[in-house]
Amino acid sequence: MSSYYVTTPIYYVNDKPHIGHAYTTVLADVLTRFHALFGEDSYMLTGTDEHGQKVQKAAQARNMPPREHCDETVVRFQELWKKLGIRNNDFIRTTEERHTKVVRKILQDLYDRGLIYKAEYTGHYCVPCERYFTGKDLLEGGLCPDCKRPTAQLMESNYFFKMGQYQEWLIDYIQSHPGFIQPEYRANETLGFLRKELGDLCISRPKSRLSWGIELPFDSEYVCYVWFDALINYISAIGYGSDDAKFGKWWPNAHHLIGKDILTTHTVYWPTMLKAIGVSMPKSVFAHGWWRSGEEKMSKSLGNVVNPMDMIGIFGVDAFRYCLMSEMVLGQDASFTEESFIKRYNSDLANDLGNMLSRAVKLTIKCFDSKIPAPGEYGEVDKELMNLALSAAAPLRESVENMRLDRGVEQVLNVVRAANRYMEKTAPWTLAKQGDMTRLGTVLYTASETLRIVSGLLLPVMPEKMEKLRITLGMSPADAARAEYTRLSSWGLLVPGSSVNDIDALFPRVLPKENAASVPAPSAKAEEKKEAKTETVAVQGGKTVTIDEFFRTQLKTAKVLEAEKVEGADKLLKLKIDAGGETRTLVAGVAKYYTPEQMIGRVIVIVANLKPAKIRGIESQGMLLAAKTGDQLRLVTVDGGDFPDGASVG
């Protein structure tokens, strides 16, 4: 049996978990469950990072020892993971002896082999990021390039890991292993970082400045730098140096999930550390985007962080998991609003899935004494839905393996929507009135069997609700709680005569906030027409504007990284663009004028501060500029293909 090992970052224990922590951990859990569904032996690791200056400061602010602070705050993460249905195999804390022993062993080995040395250091230090920066790395005013906070200038003796000697090896490895860093444009970011000279890594902090850390085995006056300590959790938790069999089983198939803000540590520091100690590279490092509140990254300092516990109270655990998985295109940022969550919840779960289940179950209870009916002869309309349901498993698996969970989930929901259309076409309520029980039995069996397949495919995303759905269809609790991939592409496994259970609404509708408008979804043609219109900017005579009014619109250059047609839409292209280090999704009505291949690599001009809009279920984060006359359309671009993206226009 093949194996699959997935890790989350280990989270700082200096504050409460937020939606970013919840997202990564739910994602890891969903991936673990999917790979188990595919027949792989799967293992998930998560945990907490409990050393470093941020933790020490948080403990000091609470007037308590750091270990006591960690023991209290770690519970918040452990309890939330249980609440979210996370089924992790291990939870590691970097204060545990099993971890500290491995860190000290690695430090001593590298020191003995001359790969760690002591030297004087002068530079700028960012406390929140716990990283050193050279003067040329800083932003104007001496600000940290990552968190934009002030840095402090330090001069002290420290120990350094000879990271720089692995620069060429790392470049070659990334270029020869295209799946190592994902998405691909993140690999390009790392390669861009490696274009400048890679220095050695400071791996210590003097106890006079920071006492909360793992003491260096060769110098008791220093503790280990938190990042050098933290990264080792991925191997210390699965038996490195203590259980060769366990380590040999899981590590060759390791996959790291990270936020894009810790890309450098995981794709530069970590590979060079592994190379130095003679351990092979993980299979992949996947950097997902940020959850944003409107246009801004969620952060405690801005006061716009979403508490997962609040969202669970509104949507329920499984619906919250579903919304997280379906809203974010992996690798890109996603904008969060409570209104958007409610809209997706009501549309996909309450209306589509919940309504389909209610229709099938209530008619079965009423017309067949709560027993799954035996099907008669299948007609063309039945076979159409049957074939659609049977063909859903393979593309879902492909989507999971390609880290496109949003696309895979959407494909399964398309089967649910087709099943609702099937009910409208076959009108089982009319068949019941007419007394055509044979035909009615076939229709209800087809609908119920489709729900069995759909619920099995969605079981990794919504384990509690899908198990409940499957029990409602007459499956035993044991069969309902698990699904086998081969059985999800096989028809006729619901046993006629099984008892169907009545059920309250699986997903009760959630009312929008007071004063929130309830607008019917426009037709596909209307959306295309609207998009084509909004994507074309024509300058004609009209009202004049002041310079201040003009500059309220932020125009920027952006490079098109990826382009693809929007399914079912003749005029729309879905673009992935880089607007100066920020990756966005943009839906543009230019498909009749440009092919996807013609768009890739172009430096276009976008309206960067336009409110995001949903177009054909895709959130478009901006608008490109184009000029149109008659039946001709041309993109507004900048002269020179090497012009930087993210530059202001105006």
What pLDDT score does 313 carry?
A: 80
What pLDDT score does 84 carry?
A: 94
**Euclidean distance between CA atoms 537 and 627, whole angstroms:** 6
Two tokens at 214? 């793992």
Q: Is the dihedral of CA 6, 9, 14, 15 positive or negative?
A: negative
pLDDT in tens, 335-347: 777 788 888 999 9
**Euclidean distance between CA atoms 107 and 101, whole angstroms:** 10
Lowest mean pLDDT among 101-105, 275-279, 587-591: 587-591
DSSP 440: H
pLDDT band at 536 (very low <50, low <70, confident <90, very high): very low
Give the angle subtended at the CA of 402 by the CAs of 396 and 407, to the nearest 5°: 45
**Euclidean distance between CA atoms 466 and 322, whole angstroms:** 11
pLDDT band at 249 (very low <50, low <70, confident <90, very high): very high
Start-to-end Cα distance in the chain: 59
- By the 10 Å C-beta count (0-12 exposed, 13-18 middle, 19+ buried), 420 is classed as middle
Confidence check: pLDDT of 534 > 90? no
Distances (CA, A) of 316 to 131, 362, 477, 629: 39, 24, 21, 51
Two tokens at 52? 């470093």
CA dihedral (17, 23, 25, 28) in degrees, to 10, reads -170
471-475, 549-553, 557-561: which has the highest mean pLDDT? 471-475
| Exposed e or buried b per residue across 257-284, where buried means at least 16 C-beta atoms within 10 angstroms of its C-beta | bbbbbbbbbbbbbbbbbbbbbebebbbb
- Three-state DSSP at 92 gives strand
**Euclidean distance between CA atoms 294 and 474, whole angstroms:** 44
**Euclidean distance between CA atoms 627 and 538, whole angstroms:** 6
**Pick from 506, 468, 462: which is nearest to 322 by CA?**
462
- Three-state DSSP at 377 gives coil
pLDDT band at 594 (very low <50, low <70, confident <90, very high): confident
**Total-model pTM:** 0.76
Q: Where are the chain's structural domains?
A: 3-288, 337-489, 524-649
Count of C-beta atoms within a 10 Å radius of residue 243: 11
Q: 3-state SS string over 530-563?
A: HHHHHHCCCCCCCCCCCHHHHCCCCEEEEEEEEE
Evaluate whether 133 touches 144 at the Cβ level (below 8 Å): yes
**Euclidean distance between CA atoms 85 and 471, whole angstroms:** 19
DSSP 260: G
- Three-state DSSP at 490 gives coil
- Three-state DSSP at 375 gives coil
Lowest mean pLDDT among 139-143, 231-235, 526-530: 526-530
Beta strands in 282-437, from DSSP E residues, in sequence order: 284-288, 291-293, 296-297, 334-336
DSSP 301: T
**Euclidean distance between CA atoms 238 and 251, whole angstroms:** 8
The residue with tokens 């919304």 is: 323
**Euclidean distance between CA atoms 319 and 461, whole angstroms:** 9
The mean of the pLDDT values for the chain is 87
- Three-state DSSP at 115 gives coil
**Euclidean distance between CA atoms 244 and 604, whole angstroms:** 53
Distances (CA, A) of 106 to 216, 218, 239, 265: 10, 12, 14, 18
Residues in the chain: 650
pLDDT, greater one: 55 or 180: 180
What topology is assigned to 3-288 in CATH? Rossmann fold (3.40.50)
Evaluate whether 373 touches 444 at the Cβ level (below 8 Å): yes
CATH class of 337-489: mainly alpha
Evaluate whether 33 touches 26 at the Cβ level (below 8 Å): no
Two tokens at 376? 């008669």
Structural element, H or E, at residue 222: strand 219-224
What pLDDT score does 537 carry?
A: 33
Residue 404: CB partners within 8 Å, gap ≥ 6? 329, 330
**Euclidean distance between CA atoms 420 and 635, whole angstroms:** 41
User: Do 524-649 and 337-489 fall under one CATH topology?
Assistant: no
Specify which residues 335 forms β-bridges with.
292
Two tokens at 413? 């929901």
Two tokens at 230? 């933290």
CA dihedral (590, 591, 593, 594) in degrees, to 10, reads 100
Mean pLDDT of 112-141: 84
What pLDDT score does 517 carry?
A: 36
pLDDT, greater one: 105 or 602: 105
What pLDDT score does 613 carry?
A: 83
Lowest mean pLDDT among 5-19, 166-180, 352-366: 5-19
Specify which residues 438 forms β-bridges with.
none
Evaluate whether 350 touches 505 at the Cβ level (below 8 Å): yes
pLDDT, greater one: 64 or 539: 64
pLDDT band at 141 (very low <50, low <70, confident <90, very high): confident
Confidence check: pLDDT of 526 > 50? no
**Pick from 586, 386, 590: which is nearest to 491 by CA?**
386
CATH label, 524-649, candidates 2.60.120.260, 2.60.40.10, 2.40.50.140, 3.40.50.980 = 2.40.50.140
In sequence order, which ranges of 278-337 are alpha helices (DSSP H)? Answer: 308-315, 317-327
Evaluate whether 165 touches 239 at the Cβ level (below 8 Å): no
**Pairing verdict, β 181-182 and 613-615:** unpaired
Mean pLDDT of 99-109: 98
Mean pLDDT of 224-236: 96
**Euclidean distance between CA atoms 281 and 274, whole angstroms:** 7
pLDDT in tens, 348-382: 999 999 999 999 999 999 999 999 999 999 999 99
- Three-state DSSP at 425 gives helix
pLDDT, greater one: 51 or 127: 51
**Euclidean distance between CA atoms 490 and 449, whole angstroms:** 10
Q: 3-state SS string over 451-464?
A: HHHHHHHHCCCCHH
Mean pLDDT of 420-434: 95
Evaluate whether 554 touches 608 at the Cβ level (below 8 Å): yes
**Pick from 91, 28, 94: which is nearest to 66 by CA?**
94
Evaluate whether 30 touches 4 at the Cβ level (below 8 Å): no
